[in-house]
Structure 1
Amino acid sequence: MSDKLNDTVEEPLTTFKEKCKNCFKGPNLIKTIVVAVCFSLVIYQISACVRKLIEKPITTYTHFDFNKTIAYPSITVCREPPYKYDKMLEHGLFAHPRITSTWETYNFSYPLDQLWNEITYNSSEIFAQYGLNELMENVEVKTFIGFLYGRCYTLSPKILHTRATKDSGYSITLQHSAADIASTIGTSPPGYHVYIHYTKEPFTEVPVYNGGLVDYLHCKVGETIDVKLLVNQYVMISNTDDPCINDDGYSANNCATRYVWNRVGEIVGCSGPWMLNSLLPYCSNSTMMRKLIVNYISVCPRFCRSYMYNGFVNDRHTFAWNTATRQWTARIGDATMQTQGFLLGLSVIGIMSIMGKFWSTFIKPGSKSSNNTNTDLKTALDEKTFHNNEDACKEKDVKSIFKLNYR
C-alpha cells in the first residue's frame, strides 16, 4: 500500500517538471521568452505608476482648460510692393529703400517723414472690407510704419467670441492695383504679407526671442485663402538664470525694437521716419542713411505667457487677370488633385488584391500541409503512447499478481 501512495504523490510533481521542461524546448522557447518580456514590461510599468503616485512629478504636467470664450489673435497685413513706385520716382528713388545706392540721388532737403507718408499706402488703398463676426466694429486697426514693409496695418479683436465655426472669425478682403502686376519694385511677388500673432506682442520687423511664435502667410494677387487656427499656450516659470516677465504692459517685441533703434542711433547719430519717438534728427545724406540701414538684434527678456497660432490653409483658389476682358478668371487645375486621389485609391486596391493572391497561393496551402503533417505525427504518437500504456499495465498486473501470490 505504501508503494501505491508514493506513486500517486510523485505523479503530479513529475508532470509539473515535464511541463516546465517543455516550455524551453523547440518553438515553445520563443513563446516563453516573449511572455517573460511582456510580463517584465508590465511589472515595470506598474512600478513606475506606483512611484509617480508616491512621488508626484513637479517639472511638467498636462491639463485641459475648457474656456467659455475664445480670444482671436492679431493679424498684421503688409503690402507687397510696400512703396508707390511713381511717387518714389518723383523724389529720385528708383528702387526699394533698402537698396542703399538709391539714396545717392535723393534730395535730403525734403523731410523724410513727409516722404514716407507719400510713398506708403493708407488703409483705404489696402482694405476693401474687413470684419470680425461680420462686423467692422469688432476690429481695432492700428498702423505700423516700418522700413522693409512700409506701412503695415494690425487688426486686433475688440470682443471675445463664444463659438468657433467656419462662418465666424475674421473676414478680410484686400485690394491691389493693375500697375503692380505689370511692374513692381518689391522683393517678393505682388500680394500681401500676413502675420498672425499674439495681441499683446505687436508686430515688428526686428527678429526677437519669440519671433517663432508668429505665423506667416503670403497671399498672392488673385488668391482666396481659407485659414483654420490652432492656438497653443506656453507658460514659462521665471528663475534667476532665465528670467521672464508676466506684466501685461510689457512686450518683448517693443523692447527689442527700441534697443535696436537706440543702438543704431548711437552708432550713426541720426534716425529714420520708421524710428518713432526718436530724439535724434533724421539722416541728412546718403552716407548716414547707408549706416542707418543695418539690422541688429539684442537680447530682451521674454514674456512668461505666449500664444502660438498655426494657420492651416483649407481652401485656395488661384485667379488670373484677363487683360482683354479686364476680369479675374479662375484657373482650371483643381481636377489634378482629384485624379491623383483616384489613382492612389486604385493603387491601394491593387496592392490589397496582390497580397490576397499571394496568401491564397503560397501561405494558405503551406499552412494546410503543415496541419496535416502535425495531425499524422500526433496520431502516430498517440498510437505509440497507447501501446506503451498497455505494456505498462501488463507489467503492473504481473507485479500485483506476484505480490499477491507471495503473501
Structure 2
Amino acid sequence: MGALSLPRDAAFPKILALSHDRNWYPATSLEFHFPHAMGYWSETRAWLFRDPAKLIRYLVLFACCIVVIVQLYECFSKLYNPPISTHSYYSLNETIEMPAVTICREPPYKEEVLTRLSGGGCPHPKYATCWMNYPFGEISLEEFFENSTHNMGDTFVFYGLNEDPNNVEMNTSLHFYMGRCYTLRPKEPAKRVSKAVGYSLMLEHSMTATSTSDVDTGAVGWHVFIHDKKENFTEVNMKGSGRVEYVFVGVNEEIEIKLQTQYFSNVQTREEACSNDENYSDLKCGEQCIWQDLSDNMQCSGPWMHDIANEPCNDSVSMRKLISDYKDVYENEDDFDCDCIQPCQSRIYTTFIQNRKAFKQPEPRTQIYIYYTTKLISMIEERPSYDTTQFIADVGGSLGFLLGLSVLGLIGILEHMTLFFCGGFIKRMQQKEQDKLAASSEDGQSQTSDETIDIAIAYKKKEKKETKY
C-alpha cells in the first residue's frame, strides 16, 4: 500500500508566519492564548457586574480579616510581654521598718600613724607621698590600713535603738576614701514611732584636723548615710547609690532627723530582670564588679578590696597605679558597666532635719537622733496591666465585632473544618463500626437459630421415648 499523504496545512499547523521583511515571528501564541485570556477576564467582569453586592461583601470580609489578624497579633504580643503600669497608694502598717545607718569619720585616717608607717608625709593614702618610701616587704598593707583607721572605741560613746544597744546589729567595713565605717542595722521592725524609740547615737571625735581635711570637706565631723538594711554601703558612685540618703553632722552638734519611707515593688519582665533575694545587694554587686576589674588590670589588689582573689600590690608603682585607677572610678559621675540586676523590692528613705543646734559638752561629741513620726508609708508598685481575662475579652471583641463570630458560630466553623479535613477518615471509621455491628448481629441470629434447632430435636427425642411405653 502506498503511504498516506496529507495536505501540508492539515499535517502541520501553522506555527510561524513570514513578515514582509522575511523575519520569522511566533504567531501561534497570539492566535491560541490571547482569546483564552480575554475570555477569562470577560467572565470575571461579567461575574462582578452580575452580583456587585457579593463583591462588596467579600471586600469588607477581607478588610475585616486583615484588621483581626493585626489585632490578634497585638493581643498575643501583650500577653507574651504584658505592659507594666505603676500604682501609688499609702499604707498604714502596725510596724515600720527602720533603715540601716552607716557612720564614717572625717578625717578618716590618723595622719601621724600614716606618716610613721609609710616613711613619708601621708595625710591620706590617696597621695603619692605615702607610697614613695613605703616599706612593702616589712609592713603589710592590711596592717597599714588597720592601724591608721579609728576603731569602735574611738567613735561611739553610746548607740542604740529604742535606747537599747541589743536592738542593733553592728558591722564594720573598710573603704579607701572613707576609712573605717560602721553600719547599724535594726534587728526587728519598730512597733512605735517617736524620738524615744528611734536611733540614738552619741559619737566622740578627737577634733584633730589633718592638713588636707579642710580642703576635702571644709570641716571635721561625721558622714551619715541612711539606706535600706539589706544594702551594703559603698563609697563608689553607681546606679544604686541614688537610694542612699546623706547628711553631714559636725562636732559639738545635736541633730534630729525625721524619716519618711517610700516602698518600691518592681515586676520582673523579659527585658529587665530583678532579684527577690532578701540578702541580695546590688550596691555590693557593683562594688565587687569594679574592684575585680581594677585588680585584673593591675594583677594586684588593695586591702579595701574584699573578697578579691588577686594578691595585694607589693611595689610603689603598682600601688600608685591602682589608686589612680580607683580615683578615676570614684570621681566619675557615670555608671560603671556591671551586669548587676536591680532588687525587686527596695526602700528609699527621705530625711528631714527637724532640729539642729549646738551640743554643749566638755568633750568634742555629737548627738544624732533618727526616728519616724508616723507609720504612713508611700507604696509604689508595678503591676502587669494585661492578663488572660483581658486577652479573652479583646479576642472575643475583635472576632465578634469585625467578623460576627460567636461561640456557636465558631463551633459550627470548627465542625465544618473537621469534616472537610477528616471527613474521609471519619466515614471509614463509621463504616468499620457498622460492619462490626452487622457481623455481631448476624452471629447472634445464627446462634439463636442453632439453639432453637437443638431444643426442637431434644423435644422430638423426648416424645419418642414417651410413646415407647
Which TM-score band applies after superposition, normalised by the shorter structure? 0.5 to 0.7
Which residue type is aligned with residue 106 of structure 1? Y
Q: Distance in 2 between matches of 1:199 and 1:298?
A: 25
Work out which of the two has the higher radius of gyration on C-alpha atoms and give 1 or 2: 2
Q: Distance in 2 between matches of 1:95 and 1:259?
A: 29
- 1:202 is paired with a residue of what secondary structure? coil
1:63 paired residue among 84, 89, 92: 89
Q: CA deviation at 1:253?
A: 1.0
8 A Cα contact 2:249 2:255, kept in partner: yes
2:267 is the alignment partner of 1:237: yes
Q: CA deviation at 1:128?
A: 0.7
Q: Distance in 1 between matches of 2:183 and 2:143?
A: 22
Q: CA deviation at 1:106?
A: 1.7
Q: Distance in 2 between matches of 1:196 and 1:100?
A: 32
2:303 is the alignment partner of 1:279: no
2:126 is the alignment partner of 1:98: yes
Q: Distance in 1 between matches of 2:130 and 2:211?
A: 16
CA offsets per residue over residues 340-367 of structure 1, 9 Å max, x none?
A: xxxxxxxxxxxxxxxxxxxxxxxxxxxx
Q: Distance in 2 between matches of 1:168 and 1:253?
A: 29
Q: Distance in 1 between matches of 2:301 and 2:174?
A: 14
Which residue type is aligned with residue 224 of structure 2? V
Q: Distance in 2 between matches of 1:320 and 1:168?
A: 23
1:222 aligns with: 252
Q: CA deviation at 1:166?
A: 2.2
Residues paired across the two proteins, number? 267
Q: CA deviation at 1:275?
A: 1.0
Q: CA deviation at 1:152?
A: 0.4
1:193 aligns with: 223
Q: CA deviation at 1:84?
A: 0.6
Q: Distance in 1 between matches of 2:84 and 2:320?
A: 52
8 A Cα contact 1:85 1:185, kept in partner: no
Q: Distance in 2 between matches of 1:58 and 1:327?
A: 55
Out of 110-119 and 185-194, give the one that drifted further: 185-194
Alpha-carbon distance change, 236 to 267 in structure 1, aligned in 2, over 3 angstroms: same
Report matched runs for 1:8-407 at 5 Å. Answer: 59-91=85-117, 92=119, 93-109=121-137, 110-178=139-207, 180-181=208-209, 183-186=210-213, 187-188=216-217, 189-293=219-323, 294-295=325-326, 296=329, 297-299=336-338, 300-318=340-358
- 2:170 is paired with a residue of what secondary structure? strand
Normalising by structure 1, what TM-score?
0.62
Alpha-carbon distance change, 259 to 236 in structure 1, aligned in 2, over 3 angstroms: same
- 1:203 is paired with a residue of what secondary structure? coil
Q: Distance in 2 between matches of 1:260 and 1:289?
A: 16
Moved over 6 A (4+): 326-329
Q: Distance in 2 between matches of 1:327 and 1:121?
A: 17
Which 5+ residue runs of structure 2 have no aligned equivalent? 1-82, 330-335, 366-469
Q: CA deviation at 1:139?
A: 0.6
8 A Cα contact 1:213 1:308, kept in partner: yes
Q: Distance in 1 between matches of 2:157 and 2:266?
A: 40
Which residue type is aligned with residue 337 of structure 2? S
Which residue type is aligned with residue 115 of structure 2? L
CA offsets per residue over residues 54-80 of structure 1, 9 Å max, x none?
A: xxx971222333221111000000000
Alpha-carbon distance change, 319 to 65 in structure 1, aligned in 2, over 3 angstroms: closer
Alpha-carbon distance change, 327 to 248 in structure 1, aligned in 2, over 3 angstroms: closer
Q: Distance in 1 between matches of 2:343 and 2:236?
A: 16
- 1:59 is paired with a residue of what secondary structure? strand
Q: Distance in 2 between matches of 1:316 and 1:126?
A: 21
Q: Distance in 1 between matches of 2:353 and 2:145?
A: 34
8 A Cα contact 2:123 2:211, kept in partner: no
Q: Distance in 1 between matches of 2:180 and 2:84?
A: 46
Q: Distance in 2 between matches of 1:227 and 1:205?
A: 22
8 A Cα contact 1:81 1:184, kept in partner: no
8 A Cα contact 2:110 2:150, kept in partner: yes
2:436 aligns with: none
8 A Cα contact 2:205 2:364, kept in partner: no
Which residue type is aligned with residue 227 of structure 2? H
Which 5+ residue runs of structure 1 have no aligned equivalent? 1-56, 330-407
8 A Cα contact 1:191 1:220, kept in partner: yes
**Alignment RMSD (CA, Å):** 2.1
- 2:85 is paired with a residue of what secondary structure? coil
CA offsets per residue over residues 134-192 of structure 1, 9 Å max, x none?
A: 101001100111101111000000121111112220000000114x15x4543222101
Normalising by structure 2, what TM-score?
0.54
CA offsets per residue over residues 73-94 of structure 1, 9 Å max, x none?
A: 0000000010011111111242
Which protein has greater RCO, CA pairs closer than 8 Å, 6+ apart? 2
Which residue type is aligned with residue 228 of structure 1? K
